[in-house]
Chain A
Amino acid sequence: MNIAAAVNENFANNSNYLIRSAMFVYALAFLAHLAEWVFGGRSKIAVQSAALIEEAQAKEAEAEAAKQKAARQVTVKTAAGSTVTLERPAVVTRASASDRGIADGPGAAGGDEKGDRYGRIAVSFTVLAWLLHASGVAFRAASVQRAPWGNMYEFSTTFGAVAVGTYLLLLALKKDVRWIGLFLTTTVLLDLGLALSVLYTSSEQLVPALHSYWLWIHVSCAIISGAIFYLAAVGTMLFLFRDHYEVAVTAGKATDGRWGDIMRRLPSAASLDKFAYRMNALVFPLWTFTIIAGAIWAQAAWGRYWGWDPKETWAFITWVAYACYLHARATAGWKGRKAAYLALVAFGCFLFNYYGVNIFVSGKHSYAGV
């Protein structure tokens, strides 16, 4: 027993070292991203924002031309003899009506080679930091011999690991999401800092009420949902900024200041909006499942599946707010900005449920331990 306890404490200490090292490497990634943005800003080939419109028009014309050519682009290679190699006929796509036909920005590096190199370095650092971070979480789990999300400290560290993990997964799937890197490393640093300084709880056993496999199911789903909702929220926020910028550009207003220079490099409002929607729509069913799993657990533990406990109530409020957002996207006059504000409100509800309810409101869930 005592040996086991010593091992556990060892694991817990290792976990703390790992999390601290991860923070250090995240900080390096943050700096590298910063350098990426800075060099990108000075980029010689930086386009004036007015050029964006020309760019868009050029793109349109190009698409027209492509359409004209489409018939000829079907290539059938006739080899000697009669073997025919078929190639995919070209498919011309048209931008959907909701997008302004404005192209995605070139990314943080703005086409600058040095900036791009820093961007790559940042991603490498992020991968390293994430590995440290994830092993920190794993060591914590080993030290307490249970799921590493029994209190707010553990919840926060795991949350950060899932958010960064999802981002890296998207990168690995060749999705163009490096633009989120700077914002993500910043918030993960804040998240871990807060976890270590304010929320830290030494490695602890759970109160018996949490001894249940539903802890694995319910809380892990909550963490994954939260992490992806978070990525969507960053996308939404940037969408709102970029949308402002695009409106200004389309109206012919000068937007060549520093702000405009940053905005120019982001993906187009349409792409950001699509990204946010995809993320939100992807996890909404998971969030629904999280709530239902919680209800099943509550039934098993407390004898009722729904009791309007503050945590339950805020999970419900969050759910309804996201349903509201999904509806807004399908409702005339509510798409775009208004829907985006709803998405932010919904994420605000999630955050309040995560921090606010634990800190300000006491209910049956308050043993979660601040």
Chain B
Amino acid sequence: MSITEKTEREDLGAAGAQLSTAPVDTFAEAPALGLLGWLRWMWRQLTSMRVALILLFLLSLAAIPGSLIPQHSDQLKLEAFKAKHTTVSPIYEKVGLFHVYSSPWFAAIYILLFVSLAGCIVPRSWQFVGQLRSRPPRAPRNLTRLPAYSTWRTDASPEEVTEAARKALRGRRFRTSVTDTSVAGEKGYLREFGNLVFHVSLFGLLIAFALTSLEKAEGGKLVVEGDGFVNNLTQYDDFSGGTLYGADDLQPFGFDLDNFEQKYATSGPEKGTALKFQANIHYYSGTDGKPVKGKISINHPLSIGGEKVYLISHGYAPVVSIKDAKGNVVREIVPFLPTDTAMTSPGVIKATDTLGTDGKPDQLAFRGIFTPTVALNATRGWYSTFPTLQKPMLILNALHGDLGIDSGAQQNVYQLDDTHLKAFTNSDGSPFAKAMQIGDTMVLPNGAGSLTFEGVKTWASFSITHQAGNEGALISGVGAILGLAGSLFIQRRRIWVRAVRAEDGVTVVEMGGLGRSESARIADEIGDVALQLLPDAPVRPEDEADGEAPPPAADAGAENEPAAGTTAVNDDEGARA
């Protein structure tokens, strides 16, 4: 508060105080008394506006690194970052820069902030209730000091004026209080209420957040067209559960992917841009429910039994049949993962139970690229130019040996572990490779077997999620917005009307107004109220006629004691300060 503002408020006494419940900041001197004194001092600092401000600022600063450094939630990017920055990574790891939003220091800031918030809301709520129960404070002695002021002389008696003023203010939904021949009116309590609702809603949001992270589960599953999924831990490609929701809590349901529909613009400047991705499915809930037709697209997940199934990505899975040296045939459908929007998709094919020419186990492996619309380019090699199956081509290298599947280490189905594999080569020593259209067969050298490219299926990958706390977060969010609107758009204000008989027996009406924050509207409002009073308290005509200043309303103000209720509130205030 600036000095002028302070003296101004003091001039107004109780009338100027308590237009809000904001804590009054005191740069408190060091505490006087022992441990308790210190604790009280620290608590008062923590719940001060200044510290809340600093904590808010720290919170925004602390959120920054997490947006610039890869986080645990994105493993691929994180691994790449760690490989690239070997010196700083261990340090980052130690101080939690790879999981900022669950790091202790980030938590420390928001926990302190919320403690501060609680320490702020609770007393403010009591104070607010106190204000609601007490009467609007009495008029200050000198109404001319108020930001908006009006006065005139009338022949009506002070009592008549007071009553009319009370009615007028009540009519405008002011809370009023009459003492002698002055009326105090106050309005806009919703501002304070909105502010409290807003801050309480922030708590609601925090709790909803906590609930969400405790009771959430998310799993991924890639399904090839014609295949299905059953909600069971063994079926997931990956799964992560929260503390309160694990594998045992999974709801029984399942679905089959009938086909995956995709549409792209085929001409114009937007050629190749996706227009529609949709997984057409049949789903059932319970253990033996009847299958129902359904569909899942990007913004439209499917809700089954409290869980939600989201479409995440899609691609192609070549269908191949592999014959080993002894003539055994296996048929495989192998999803390839797209790397661009035209669906250039690298992938690997593994055949684990094949025999070599000597009759001993000799695993076969293939690595290559699938392109729905093929093109070849000297720098890029094989790639796809359009995402639909216009000129499908499967280009593969072939290897044999030990895939390393039995070694126990977990294997990525989309990668080959080359350590015990040998590439087939042509007679000139170059790697053996072949580009196949559907129906083509690649015959491996030396009678090691063959691979036939039989066809292509689509696949779609889904994320199956369980989430709690959504409703809580939504309700708190809406509460926060409504509270904010009340807090920012509603003016808390007071209007006083005083009618006093002057020495010459004429009634002097004085009116003053005070707003919570600087606003021109309070003056308009005073004008409106005055206008409303005029029929009951008409201006003395001769005042206008003679054009002379009226005698000053001597001793207009009664003794400037605050009303009882306000005193109590002020004591509260004193205790805080």
Instruction: Tell me the minimal C-beta distance from A360 to chain B in angstroms.
Output: 8
A296 at interface by CB-CB < 8 Å: yes
A69 at interface by CB-CB < 8 Å: yes
Instruction: Tell me the minimal C-beta distance from A200 to chain B in angstroms.
Output: 12
A88, A91, A292: the one contacting B149 at CB < 8 Å is A91
B333 at interface by CB-CB < 8 Å: no
B22, B63, B463: the one contacting A313 at CB < 8 Å is B63
A8 at interface by CB-CB < 8 Å: yes
**A-chain residues with CB within 8 Å of residue B50 when the two chains form the complex:** 331-334
Scan residues 205-235 of chain B and give those whose CB is less than 8 A from a CB of chain A: 209, 212, 216, 218
Q: Which residue of A lies closest to B4 (CB)?
A: A97
Instruction: Evaluate contact between B530 and A208: CB separation under 8 angstroms.
Output: no
Instruction: Evaluate contact between A209 and B209: CB separation under 8 angstroms.
Output: no
When chains A and B are docked, how far (Å) is the Cα of A284 from the Cα of B508?
44
Which range holds the interface residue count of chain B?
A: 35 or more
Instruction: Evaluate contact between A313 and B488: CB separation under 8 angstroms.
Output: no
Instruction: Evaluate contact between B150 and A317: CB separation under 8 angstroms.
Output: no
Interface centre among B268, B276, B300 (most CB of A within 10 A): B268
B150, B270, B480: the one contacting A92 at CB < 8 Å is B150
Instruction: Evaluate contact between A327 and B310: CB separation under 8 angstroms.
Output: no
A307 at interface by CB-CB < 8 Å: yes
Of A112-120, A131-139, A318-326, which binds chain B?
A: A318-326
A72, A204, A285: the one contacting B544 at CB < 8 Å is A72
Which range holds the interface residue count of chain A?
A: 35 or more
A351 at interface by CB-CB < 8 Å: no
Q: State whether A98 and B527 are in contact (beta carbons under 8 Å apart), knowing that A203-B269, A308-B71, A331-B50 are contacts in the complex.
A: no
Q: Which residue of A lies closest to B547 (CB)?
A: A72
Q: State whether A361 and B67 are in contact (beta carbons under 8 Å apart), knowing that A8-B268, A91-B149, A323-B56 are contacts in the complex.
A: yes
B237 at interface by CB-CB < 8 Å: no
Instruction: Evaluate contact between B67 and A209: CB separation under 8 angstroms.
Output: no
A20 at interface by CB-CB < 8 Å: no
A202 at interface by CB-CB < 8 Å: yes
A337 at interface by CB-CB < 8 Å: no
Of B124-132, B397-405, B518-526, which binds chain A?
A: B518-526
A81 at interface by CB-CB < 8 Å: no
Of B165-173, B359-367, B387-395, B470-478, which binds chain A?
A: B470-478
**B-chain residues with CB within 8 Å of residue A317 when the two chains form the complex:** 60, 63-64, 67
**A-chain residues with CB within 8 Å of residue B57 when the two chains form the complex:** 320-321, 324, 342
Q: Which residue of B lies closest to A332 (CB)?
A: B25
Q: Which residue of B lies closest to A202 (CB)?
A: B269
Instruction: Evaluate contact between A71 and B5: CB separation under 8 angstroms.
Output: no
Instruction: Evaluate contact between B488 and A284: CB separation under 8 angstroms.
Output: yes
Instruction: Evaluate contact between B63 and A67: CB separation under 8 angstroms.
Output: no
A8, A330, A349: the one contacting B60 at CB < 8 Å is A349
**B-chain residues with CB within 8 Å of residue A314 when the two chains form the complex:** 67
Instruction: Evaluate contact between B301 and A300: CB separation under 8 angstroms.
Output: yes
A198 at interface by CB-CB < 8 Å: no
Instruction: Evaluate contact between A292 and B481: CB separation under 8 angstroms.
Output: yes
A328 at interface by CB-CB < 8 Å: yes
Q: State whether A333 and B67 are in contact (beta carbons under 8 Å apart), knowing that A88-B527, A323-B56 are contacts in the complex.
A: no
Q: What would 13 more interface pairs be, CB under 8 Å, given A86-B531, A97-B8, A208-B298?
A: A5-B267, A71-B153, A72-B543, A84-B538, A91-B149, A91-B530, A94-B147, A204-B273, A205-B270, A208-B275, A306-B209, A327-B49, A332-B25
A-B contact pairs, 19 of them (CB 8 A): A2-B267, A5-B267, A72-B550, A76-B544, A88-B531, A92-B148, A92-B150, A96-B147, A97-B5, A203-B270, A297-B299, A300-B299, A301-B310, A303-B463, A308-B100, A323-B56, A327-B52, A330-B49, A361-B68
**Which 8 residue pairs are nearest across A and B when measured between Cβ atoms?**
A97-B5, A313-B67, A320-B60, A96-B518, A331-B49, A292-B477, A5-B268, A74-B152
A-side residues, CB < 8 A to B, are 1-2, 5, 8-9, 12, 67-72, 74-76, 78, 84, 86, 88-94, 96-99, 202-209, 211-212, 214, 274, 281-282, 284-285, 288-289, 292, 295-297, 299-308, 310, 313-314, 316-317, 320-321, 323-324, 326-328, 330-334, 342, 349, 357, 361
